Amino acid sequence: MKTKMFLVNLCIVLVLASCTTAAKPIPTSIPLDSNRDGMITPEELKVTFSTMHEIVKQIAETRPAEAATFEAQITSFEDGFPINLDIGRISQTAYEILSVVQTINDEQAVQEKTSKNLMTGVYIFIVIAAAVLLLVIFLFVRRRRSNETQTDGNSIRSVFFSFENGDFSRAAVVRESWITERKEAVGFIDTEDFEELIKQGEAVVKAWIDEQLEETSVTVVLVGKDTCNSEWVKYAVEKSMQNNKGLLGIDVSKIKDLQGKKSERCGKIPEGYPFYLWNKDDGKENIGRWIETAAKVAGR
């Protein structure tokens, strides 16, 4: 917010500065003998006095004291016109006036140059500041999107959950904990649908498992009482190893089924891979970390 306000203020300053016109230089010529014939006529003196008055008015904008002195001298010349005139004094006063004019013009030129340099510097600064601001916004948006696709530092991953059909309700508890954070879980079909796959033959079931594993980076084996005897779980584990998937096992036997009952687990599978106890190890809170660790170990 502070950065935005600062840039807005700078833009306002630039607009105002751009709208301010540079001061016009004061004329540096006071004619005495305008036709250069060596004779100064009364008409030429009148033009001279008029020119001096105009120039002194401009001098008064920055140097009022000197302008007042010049104005008094010019008035005295006019009062003596045309009988009592001292051309030498008039010429000397004109010279003094033009000397002051030259000094003022030089000062204005320096100020204008400084102002232009400052404007150039401000423009460059605004361009750099705008670029930095855009970079900050880009990084902020990118980080925000990254945060939207991550939870507790864990990337959204599509995970295959392999389990024995008798543990479907327990597996569903694990699945719900995983997808609550907008993560993807595959491998869940109704018991009856899976039985239909089995009826179609071994090749059909294996093809279905292969398809589920195709877009996943981690396989999670949910271990219950009869998991160790499941040829389909065994096949999923073997295929996951072949395809270098992240692997881990979770004991789900102590999750109550739809009848409120618990069971026992058959063992720790897959062997040689991390194994966790859902209830004791607080799986609901830690499943994301378990899966992410397995994925990183597998280079996923």
* 268 vs 41 pLDDT, higher one: 268
Tell me, what's the pLDDT at 197?
Answer: 85
pLDDT in tens, 73-103: 888 888 877 767 788 888 888 888 988 889 9
Q: How high does pLDDT run on average in the chain?
A: 82
Question: Is 70 within 8 Å of 92 (Cβ atoms)?
Answer: no
Tell me, what's the pLDDT at 149?
Answer: 45
The answer, yes or no, to whether residue 182 has pLDDT greater than 60, is no
**Least confident piece of the model among 163-167, 182-186, 292-296:** 182-186
Pairing between β-strand 154-155 and β-strand 150-151 as defined by DSSP bridges: antiparallel
pLDDT in tens, 3-54: 455 555 555 555 555 444 556 788 888 877 667 766 778 888 888 888 989 9
Tell me, what's the pLDDT at 266?
Answer: 93
Output the pTM of the full model. Answer: 0.49
pLDDT in tens, 109-152: 888 888 888 888 888 888 888 888 888 888 877 766 554 444 44
**Which of 45, 64, 47 is closest to 56 using CA atoms?**
64
Determine the average pLDDT of the residues in 263-278.
92
The amino acid that residue 265 corresponds to is R
- Burial (0-12, 13-18, 19+ Cβ within 10 Å), 243: middle
The answer, yes or no, to whether residue 2 has pLDDT greater than 70, is no
Contacts of 271 (CB under 8 A, 6+ apart): none
CATH number assigned to the domain covering 154-297: 3.40.50.450
Tell me, what's the pLDDT at 119?
Answer: 84
Q: Band of the pLDDT at 280, cuts 50, 70, 90?
A: very high
- Burial (0-12, 13-18, 19+ Cβ within 10 Å), 78: middle
Pairing between β-strand 184-186 and β-strand 154-155 as defined by DSSP bridges: unpaired
* 82 vs 210 pLDDT, higher one: 210
Domains of the chain by residue range: 2-148, 154-297
- 3-state class (DSSP) for residue 221: strand
DSSP tag of 150: E
Tell me, what's the pLDDT at 234?
Answer: 95
Q: Copy the structure tokens of residue 126.
A: 């605004």
Tell me, what's the pLDDT at 151?
Answer: 41
Determine the average pLDDT of the residues in 165-171.
89
